Amino acid sequence: MVDKDYRQYQSQLIGKIIDAERAEAVAFIDALAQEVGFPTAISRVLDPALIEIGELWSREKLSLAQGYVAAKITEDVLLKAVESTAWKTETAHMHIPVVLANIEDDFHSLGRKMVSTFLQLSGWDVCDMGNDITAEEIVDKAVELHAPIIGVSAMMYTSALNIAKVRAEMDRRKLANSMKLAVGGAIFKVRASLVREVGGDGTAVSAIEAPQLFADLLHTIKR
């Protein structure tokens, strides 16, 4: 299937979101996923549709209610994806724990939930701590679970700066050699230098690329 077709799917999905057709939208992606698999359906259709919905929302062309519908559709689809065993990868046996959270003061959960789903489906044992989690809580959890990687999401510049506290907490506990910090969210796409500014070890622009990033970071840990 070529890109042009996926753009048509995106437009159709956006139409359903705008019309608040939650069940129809979920069935629409589900049907596509049966054909091309959930990774492709999510990364090529749902993810770009959400970005466009986000832009419409930012320009006040969408209501908060429509944004809410988009979030609910995403959650429904991610649940279906997690329940589907059809696209587990060869790494699915790994069961390595990782901790994921939106940093303190950040409530943009959609991106994080997508990353969580893609990691789970690639075999990582994800502890998703949710929104607005402090650096200390995140590092405590990672230490408790012996997680070699922490993934932190932030959508806003101001909240992204709080990720530097996670790096400081890791450094304070001398964890730099045994634990890596993955960062991501819309703001890291527009300001690439932010990854280093907050002390991140790496980033990925979309959820589908997160498992590879985590695998790469795991390889950098001296065991």
Q: Given the rule CB under 6 A, which residues bind ligand B12?
A: 47, 50-51, 54-55, 57-58, 67, 71, 105-112, 114-115, 151-153, 155-157, 159, 182-187, 203-204, 206-207, 210, 213
Q: Which is nearer to ligand B12, 32 or 204 (CB)?
A: 204
CB of 30 to ligand B12, least distance (A): 18
Whole-number minimum distance, CB 74 to ligand B12, in Å? Answer: 7
C-alpha span between 182 and 114 (Å, rounded):
15
Q: Which is nearer to ligand B12, 32 or 50 (CB)?
A: 50
Nearer to ligand B12, 50 or 81 (CB): 50
Closest CB to ligand B12 among residues 51, 94: 51
Using the minimum distance from each CB to ligand B12, give the nearer residue, 148 or 151: 151
* Element of type H or E holding 27: helix 22-36
Least Å distance between CB 135 and ligand B12?
A: 15
3-state secondary structure of 128: strand
Q: Cα–Cα–Cα angle for 195, 57, 22, nearest 5°?
A: 105
Residue 122 or 159 having the CB closest to ligand B12: 159
Closest CB 180 distance from ligand B12, rounded Å = 11
Are the C-beta atoms of 39 and 208 separated by less than 8 Å?
Answer: yes
CB 152 within 8 A of CB 98: no
* Beta carbons within 8 Å of 204's beta carbon, 6+ residues apart: 182, 184, 210, 212, 213
> What is the DSSP-derived secondary structure letter of residue 87?
T
* Minimum distance from residue 139 beta carbon to ligand B12 (Å): 15
Q: Is 106 left (phi over 0), alpha (psi -120 to 50) or beta?
A: beta
- Nearest-angstrom CA–CA distance, 104 and 59: 26
CB of 98 to ligand B12, least distance (A): 9
